[in-house]
């Protein structure tokens, strides 16, 4: 087995059709996309392979509004990061958050929390990007796309100039912006992820847990596809503990007709609209979703999470970022998992991909 120098995935030298000789050495690739990236700039990827990270647990947060600041607070409490740097064009806002967070340090594990600028992304294990406009009441995530793409065109090149290990995109529409960030950064595909449907999956588990009256940690269920209106609940794979969802009804002895399932999913899908209508923004559950992603990356956990990632021939879907279950560790996405879907779920996932591809096409990136 060889290591693809672009994405870091294992490649069987005898099976892959993609290889190049560079300076007398053979390099093998998992897909033509990685080979093309390598051909354009081999030294860049050889440098990434050799990159040393002095501070393994430095997290940079670009955009310190509702989401960025709540993530910073939750991350500080978690004790996962040794350094947290806050970057925002509204520097006074970032400064205020840093003062407030530092005043909490006698209650938590020590960490170095400071206001920074783009050069502070150097040596970061991950840069979490929450900069940008957020939804106004009634606005969809896709309505934000042009405004936030323009912001990304300014922000992403300034971040990658300092070569942090990984980008985690949160700004909406998160799947489209993950794709935009991947293009702008020219990073390997495994090192640019979106928070995707980690939040929606948590919402789904929370509602199912209430319905089934069981601890949410024992609900195994996934939302895949777009983080948005075309997202897909994978009902066929829902498990309560070790019991398949359809077998669970006799256990909780509550009827669970189709319209009740539809209601659960609608609450998941419309959660952001309902919360924004009431309090103007969502911040707590996304803050903890980001801590969970950070945990898997910083502690090299190989956790299975539904982050947004570039797909290549996944149920015939390619060249679009959306969420499916992946294994996530300090190098980013190490494997994508082919979740078994029924026919209607496959059709819904493909429809979700089409929605996102159409938006990407309209942007011309
Ligand atoms: N992916 C998810 O699950 C999820 C969940 C909630 C919110 N979001 C998205 O996250 C983003 C942030 O939401 P919010 O509620 O924190 O918004 P917010 O308006 O409170 O904060 C945005 C911050 O970005 C900063 N900013 C804007 N342009 C910048 C630039 N060029 N450089 C640096 N900083 C810049 C602003 O100064 C502001 O502090 C939105 O796009 C929102 O839709 C995503």
Q: Which helix (H) or strand (E) holds 252?
A: helix 245-252
Considering only CA atoms, which of 67, 62, 78, 7 is closest in space to residue 38? 7
Q: How far is the CA of 93 from the centre of ligand 1 (A)?
A: 13
Distance CA 360, CA 365 (A): 7
Locate the ligand 1 atom nearest the alpha carbon of residue 131 and give its number. Answer: 24
* CA separation for the pair 19, 365 (Å, rounded): 27
Nearest by Cα to 206 from 98, 118, 198: 198
Q: Diameter of the chain by CA atoms?
A: 67
Minimum CA distance residue for ligand 1 atom 2: 170
8 A C-beta contact, residue 302 and residue 334: yes
Cβ atoms within 10 Å of 270's Cβ, excluding its own: 12
| DSSP three-state, residue 330 | coil
**CB of 88 shorter than 6 A to ligand 1:** yes
The predicted model scores a pTM of: 0.88
Regarding the beta carbon of 149 and ligand 1, being less than 6 Å apart is answered no
Tens digits of pLDDT across the chain (365 residues) = 888 888 878 888 888 889 998 877 889 998 888 888 888 878 777 755 444 444 469 999 999 999 999 999 999 999 999 999 999 999 999 999 999 999 999 999 999 999 999 999 999 999 999 999 887 787 787 788 999 999 999 999 999 999 899 999 999 999 999 999 999 999 999 999 999 999 999 999 999 999 999 999 999 999 999 999 999 999 999 999 999 998 887 777 777 788 889 999 999 999 999 999 999 999 999 999 999 999 999 999 999 999 999 999 999 999 999 999 999 999 999 999 999 999 999 999 999 999 999 999 998 88
Q: Which H helix or E strand runs over 170?
A: none
The pLDDT score that the predictor gives to residue 81 is: 97
Does residue 276's CB lie within 6 angstroms of at least one atom of ligand 1?
no
CB atoms within 10 A of CB 56: 14
From the CB of 134, is ligand 1 less than 6 Å away? yes
CB 79 within 8 A of CB 108: yes
Please count the CA atoms within 13 angstroms of the CA of 183 that sit on its side-chain side. Answer: 16
Give the closest residue (by CA) to ligand 1 atom 27. 132
Going from the C-alpha of 8 to that of each of 163, 289, 301, the distances in angstroms are: 16, 25, 16
281 CA to centre of ligand 1 in angstroms: 10
What is 121-142 written as a DSSP string? GTT-SEEEE--S--PPTT--GG
Pick from 125, 166, 170: nearest CA to 152: 170
**Distances from the Cα of 233 to the Cαs of 102, 203, 306, in angstroms?**
40, 11, 12
- Taking the C-alpha atoms of residue 346 and residue 33, their distance in angstroms, rounded to an integer, is 24
Distance between Cα 132 and ligand 1 center (Å): 4
Q: Please indicate whether residue 70, judged by its CB atom, sits closer than 6 Å to ligand 1.
A: no
Residue 22 Cα distances to 1, 4, 5, angstroms? 18, 13, 12
C-alpha Rg value of the chain to the nearest Å: 21
Distance (Å) from CA 263 to ligand 1 centroid: 29
Separation of alpha carbons 237 and 243, rounded Å: 10
Q: What are the C-alpha distances in Å from 329 to residues 50, 103, 262, 290, 295?
A: 18, 31, 34, 14, 9
Ordered structural domains, the chain, with CATH: 2-47 (no CATH), 58-194 (3.40.50.720), 198-363 (3.90.110.10)
**DSSP 8-state assignment for residue 24:** T
Mutate to test the pocket of ligand 1, among 116, 130, 197, 293 (most ligand atoms within 8 A of CB): 130
Q: Look up 53 and say whether it is catalytic.
A: no
Which one-letter DSSP state was computed for residue 172?
S
Are 341 and 236 a contacting pair, CB within 8 Å? Answer: yes
Contact 186, 41 (CB under 8 A): yes
Per the omega criterion (within 30 degrees of 0), is the bond before 173 cis? yes
* Ligand 1 site, residue 151, Cβ cutoff 6 A: yes
**Does residue 64's CB lie within 6 angstroms of at least one atom of ligand 1?**
yes
**CA pair distance 355, 318, nearest whole angstrom:** 13
Name the nearest CA neighbour of 188 among 356, 36, 362, 359.
Answer: 36
């Amino acid at each position: 087995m060889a290591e693809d120098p672009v994405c870091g995935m294992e490649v069987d030298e005898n099976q892959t059709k993609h290889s190049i000789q560079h300076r007398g050495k053979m390099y093998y690739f998992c897909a033509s996309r990685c080979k093309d990236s390598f051909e354009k700039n081999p030294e860049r990827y050889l440098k990434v392979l050799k990159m040393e990270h002095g501070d393994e647990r430095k997290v940079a947060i670009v955009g310190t509004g509702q989401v960025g600041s709540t993530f910073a607070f939750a991350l500080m409490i978690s004790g996962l990061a040794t350094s947290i740097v806050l970057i925002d064009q509204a520097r006074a806002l970032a400064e205020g958050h840093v003062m407030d967070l530092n005043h909490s340090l006698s209650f938590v594990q020590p960490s170095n929390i400071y206001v920074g600028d783009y050069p502070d992304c150097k040596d970061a294990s991950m840069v979490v990007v929450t900069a940008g406009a957020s939804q106004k009441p009634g606005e969809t995530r896709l309505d934000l796309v042009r405004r936030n793409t323009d912001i990304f065109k300014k922000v992403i090149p300034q971040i990658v100039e300092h070569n942090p290990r990984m980008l985690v995109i949160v700004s909406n529409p998160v799947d489209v912006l993950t794709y935009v960030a991947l293009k702008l950064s020219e990073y390997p595909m495994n090192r640019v992820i979106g928070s995707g449907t980690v939040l929606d999956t948590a919402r789904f588990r929370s509602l199912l847990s209430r319905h089934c009256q069981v601890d949410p940690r024992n609900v195994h269920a996934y939302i895949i596809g777009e983080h948005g209106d075309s997202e897909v609940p994978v009902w066929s794979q829902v498990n309560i503990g070790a019991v398949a969802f359809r077998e669970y009804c006799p256990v909780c002895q509550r009827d669970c007709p189709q319209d009740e399932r539809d209601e659960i999913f609608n609450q998941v899908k419309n959660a952001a609209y309902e919360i924004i209508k009431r309090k103007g923004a969502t911040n707590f559950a996304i803050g903890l979703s980001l801590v969970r992603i950070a945990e898997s990356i910083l502690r090299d956990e190989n956790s299975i999470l539904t982050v947004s990632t570039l797909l290549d021939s996944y149920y015939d879907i390619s060249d679009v970022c959306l969420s499916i279950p992946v294994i996530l560790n300090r190098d980013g996405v190490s494997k994508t998992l082919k979740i078994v879907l029924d026919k209607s779920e496959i059709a819904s996932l493909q429809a979700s991909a089409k929605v996102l591809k159409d938006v990407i096409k309209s942007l011309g990136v």
